[in-house]
């Protein structure tokens, strides 16, 4: 994404022209998988974000306030402006998608509805002191999935470290295998 595009979406940016497939819309409307709820019934969604095809972090998206909180397990602090540029397609895409599926009409009223419609989401970083930090490359995906698991379970403390990653990867593999449907 061009450096000067932060804060404004280029008119030719394909993310704004994307039209959701019927399967995509079924997810947002809570119709595709067991336990999936329509987005207009929830306050937040968790999204794993891939940065440049090389790195994963978690976005906790507050749908009603229009804010994205990034949880990053990378030990080296990355400036917020750089992360905002890296996730800009997400925050513009979410605004466009919520408008397209009628989220604001179903959830918000009056001036607040008008104010939130088609506006980019605000982005902030959760302090690295509140997120377990990885010390080795290659564990960002496992850290991201573990963060999502803890947030969904409403656990207040993160009680794992880099040394637990091998065991956590094995646990995740078993869970995926046991919960997958045969084709």
Q: How far apart are CA 107 and CA 109, in angstroms?
A: 7
**SS3 sequence of the chain:** CCHHHCCCCCCCCHHHHCCCCHHHHHHHCCCCCCCCCCHHHCCEEEEEEEECCCEEEEEEEECCCCEEEEECCECCCCCHHHHHHHHHHHHHHHHHHHHHCCHHHHHCCHHHHHHHCCCCCEEEECCHHHCCCECCCCCHHHHHHHHHHHHHCCCCCCCCCHHHHHHHHHHHHHHHHHHCCCC
Sequential pLDDT tens for the chain (183 residues): 444 444 555 555 555 566 667 777 777 778 876 667 888 888 888 999 888 888 888 999 998 888 999 988 876 677 888 888 888 888 777 877 787 777 777 776 655 555 555 567 888 888 777 777 887 778 888 888 888 988 888 888 888 888 888 888 898 889 888 877 775
Pick the CATH number of 10-179 from 1.10.3720.10, 3.40.395.10, 3.40.50.150, 2.130.10.10: 3.40.395.10
pTM of the complete model: 0.75
Domain chopping of the chain, boundaries:
10-179
């Amino acid at each position: 994404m061009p450096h000067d595009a932060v804060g404004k979406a280029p008119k030719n940016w394909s993310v704004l022209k994307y039209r959701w497939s019927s399967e995509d819309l079924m997810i947002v409307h809570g119709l595709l998988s067991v336990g999936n709820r329509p987005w207009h019934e929830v306050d937040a969604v968790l999204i794993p974000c891939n940065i440049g095809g090389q790195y994963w972090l978690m976005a906790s998206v507050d749908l009603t306030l229009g804010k994205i909180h990034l949880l990053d397990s990378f030990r080296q602090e990355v400036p917020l402006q750089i992360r905002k540029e890296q996730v800009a397609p997400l925050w513009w895409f979410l605004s466009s998608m919520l408008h397209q599926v009628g989220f604001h009409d179903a959830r918000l009223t009056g001036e607040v509805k008008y104010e939130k419609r088609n506006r980019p989401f605000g982005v902030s970083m959760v302090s690295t002191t509140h997120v377990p930090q990885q010390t080795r490359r290659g564990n960002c995906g496992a850290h991201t999935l573990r963060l999502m698991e803890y947030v969904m379970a409403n656990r207040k403390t993160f009680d794992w470290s880099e040394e637990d990653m091998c065991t956590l990867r094995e646990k995740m593999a078993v869970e995926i295998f046991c919960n997958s449907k045969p084709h």
